[in-house]
Amino acid sequence: MSKSSQYTASEILTILIARQVKGGLVVFSGVGIPLLAATLAQRLGCPGLTILFEGGVIGAFVEPGKLPPSTNDQRCTKRANMVLGSADVLLLLQRGYVDIGFMGGAQIDQYGNLNSSFIGNWKAPTVRLPGTGGGNDISSLTNMIVAMKHEKRRFVEKVDFITSPGFIRGRNTRAESGLTHGGMFRVITELATFSFDDAERRMKVLALNPGVTCGQVQDNTGFDLIFDKSISVTEPPSEHELSTLRTLDPGRQFTA
C-alpha cells in the first residue's frame, strides 16, 4: 500500500501487539509476527524490553531488514546479552522469569487453547501440523498474547487437539491440570482484541479495530463470543508506528 494511512491486516495486528508491551518486561517470543511486534515495541519506546528466544537467546535486538527465519537462527543472537542452551532458556519460563509469551496460532477455541499439531483425529489426522515447538512450554508457564488471523475455521468451539493450553475446559480446569500460573491474556486479530472473562474463562471482545462491527467479529468466529457492555474502538495505527514497522520488515516477509 502506498499511503501510510492505509495498512494491511498483518500490519495492524503487529502494531496492536506491540502496544500491549511496556518497557522493562521480559517476553518470550515466537518467530514471525510475534517477533516483529516485540522488535517494534523496542523501537517505539521500550528499548528495555527483553526478548527471549527458544533457540537460547536472552535480550535479542534484531536488526531491521534482517529478521531471523526461525527462533533458532544465528540472526537471533545479534546484540543479545547472552546465549545459552535451549533447555535452559525454556527453564527460565518454569522458574518464573518471564512476564509474557508472544505466539502466533493456527487454531484457537473459546477457552484460548491453541492447536498446532493435528487437524482431525490425532490417530488418523486429515493434516499433520508441525507441532508445538516451545509453544506448549510458553503457554503452560506464562501469560500469553496470541496473534491470529481471524477466520471462522481458525476460531472454533473446541480445538481438535490442545497443543498449547489456554484455560483448557474453562473455569478452574487449567489450575486443576497442574498449570498454576499464566494463561491466555490477550488474543489479537485484524478485527479485534480479546480477553477472557474471569468466571468461565471464555473469550470476550475487549476492543474493535477501526471500522469493524461486533456482527462482523461474531460472523467470523465459530463460537459465541462474550460482548462486554463497554467495548472500545482501538486507535488506528499512527504514521510513526507504520513507518517504524516498515523499516523493520522492508521486504514485507511477514507483513504482506
Partner 1 sequence: MTSELVQPYHTLRDNIQKRDRSLREKVVSLEEAPSFVNDGATVGIGGSTLSRTPMAMIWQLIRARKKNLSCSRCIISTDGDLLFGSGAANQITSSWFAQGILWGLSKVMRHYVEKNLARYDEWSHMGMGMRYRAGGMGVPFLPMRSMLGSDVAHVRPEVKEIDCPFTGEKLLLIPALNPDVALIHVQRCDAYGNAQIDGLQFMDIDLALAANRVILTTERIVSNDQIRRAPDQTKIPFLCVDAVVEVPYGSMPHECYGLYEPAMNHLDAYVDQVNGDPVEGMRRYLDTYVYAPKSWNDFLSLIGTEEVMSATRRGQSLFDV
Gap between the Cα atoms of 33 and 37, Å rounded: 6
Among 4, 70, 195, 244, binds partner 1 (CB under 8 A): 70
User: Could you give the residue numbers annotated as active site?
Assistant: 54
What DSSP designation does 121 have?
-
Using alpha carbons, select from 41, 256, 137, 220 the residue that is nearest to residue 51.
Answer: 41
Q: Residue from 163, 189, 234, 255 that binds partner 1 (CB under 8 A)? A: 163
* Minimum distance of partner 1 from residue 159's CB (angstroms): 9
Q: Tell me how far apart the alpha carbons of residues 35 and 70 are, in angstroms, rounded to a whole number.
A: 10
Region from 15-23, 80-88, 196-204, 237-245 binding partner 1, contact rule CB under 8 A: 80-88
Q: Where are the alpha helices (DSSP H) in 52-189?
A: 86-95, 135-141, 173-176
Location of C-alpha cell 529478521: 67
* Binding residue for partner 1, selected from 11, 109, 137, 241, defined by CB under 8 A: 137
Residue 141 interacts with partner 1 (CB under 8 A): yes or no: yes
Q: Give the Cα separation of 37 and 21 in Å (integer).
A: 9
Options 2, 3, 180, 230; binder of partner 1; rule CB under 8 A: 180
Residues near partner 1, by CB under 8 A: 31-32, 54-57, 66, 69-70, 72-78, 83-87, 90-91, 93-94, 117, 122, 125-137, 140-141, 161-165, 168, 173-174, 177-180, 253
